[in-house]
């Protein structure tokens, strides 16, 4: 029997980038911080929680990034469309914070809808 896993297939690089995200083809952006990035996906934290499997558009909010030398991050996608794969509640209450895992759409492989 073949086991199917939905685990990360590519490495990630740590980063700390202020980004904005919105549902695809909508204009109300939410602020967030990208914490790591890889060829197939990324992880970010936001006080706003997207829906699982939603298509989101992500862009840098300041056009710059801070990287730790020990992490050796070399860059990340500046704008992208991705699918929300999972969400974790990091903090609840008056100041909620969500950890969000997203996978990039590959234009020739993944249809948006």
pTM (global) more than 0.75: no
The model's pLDDT over 42-64, given as tens digits with 9 standing for 90+, comes to 999 999 999 999 999 999 985 44
Q: What is the signed CA dihedral for 107, 60, 43, 84, rounded to 10 degrees?
A: -50
Could you tell me whether strands 30-38 and 12-23 are parallel, antiparallel, or unpaired per DSSP bridges? antiparallel
For the chain, give every domain's residue range.
15-62+75-104
What is the mean predicted confidence (pLDDT) over 95-110? 83
Q: Looking at the domain covering 15-62+75-104, what would its CATH class be? A: mainly beta
Instruction: Identify which has the larger pLDDT, 71 or 16.
Output: 16
Confidence band (pLDDT; 50, 70, 90) for 111?
low
């Amino acid at each position: 029997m073949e086991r199917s896993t939905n685990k990360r297939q590519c490495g990630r690089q740590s980063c700390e980038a202020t980004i904005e995200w919105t549902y695809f083809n909508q204009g109300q952006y939410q602020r967030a911080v990208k914490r790591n990035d890889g060829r197939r996906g990324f992880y970010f934290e936001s006080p706003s929680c997207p829906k699982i499997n939603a298509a989101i558009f992500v862009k840098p909010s300041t056009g710059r990034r801070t990287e730790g030398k020990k992490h050796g991050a070399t860059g990340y996608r500046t704008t992208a469309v991705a699918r929300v794969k999972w969400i974790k509640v990091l903090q609840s209450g008056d100041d909620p914070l969500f950890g969000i895992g997203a996978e990039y759409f590959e234009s020739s492989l993944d249809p948006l809808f």
